Amino acid sequence: MLKVEHIGIAVKDLQNANALFTKLFGREHYKIESVESEGVSTSFFMIGETKIELLEATHPDSPIAKFIEKRGEGIHHIAFEVADIEAEMKRLKAEGFTLLNETPKKGADNKLICFLHPKSTNSVLIELCQEIKL
């Protein structure tokens, strides 16, 4: 793993959360993006070399909606940048970690992503992400 790429925070209302985090960080978000496959709208802030991703559910069946219903708003996941997501997925699976998807998926911010099940990571949802090369 190369670095912490971003920290994902589940929010009920993206517009209100953007206003709150803009005041907190003293700067505006740099991108809003929807990821239909995950049922979320996202907003990104850059703090030093790390991004903060706010996630709002776009429908009541989405993983973020279920997370908020069960646990409330708050930190949802920590994402780590990897050089080769497929190799890292293979390595982690061999180490006994449970992958939530068997192949990388297209995520927000031009990334291929894969999540590790929190049951295999001390209850922390871990996301692997790799920049999509054009």
| pLDDT confidence of residue 40 | 96
| pLDDT confidence of residue 21 | 98
SS (H, E, C) 61-87: CCHHHHHHHHHCCEEEEEEEECCCHHH
N- to C-terminal Cα separation, the chain: 22
| pLDDT confidence of residue 68 | 97
Low-confidence ranges of the chain (pLDDT < 70): none
| pLDDT confidence of residue 105 | 95
Whole-model pTM: value is 0.93
| pLDDT confidence of residue 133 | 86
| pLDDT confidence of residue 14 | 98
Cα–Cα distance between 42 and 63 in angstroms, integer?
Answer: 13
CB-count exposure of residue 61 (10 Å: 0-12, 13-18, 19+): exposed
| pLDDT confidence of residue 24 | 97
Read off the pLDDT of residues 69-97 as tens digits, 9 standing for 90 and up: 999 999 999 999 999 999 999 999 999 99
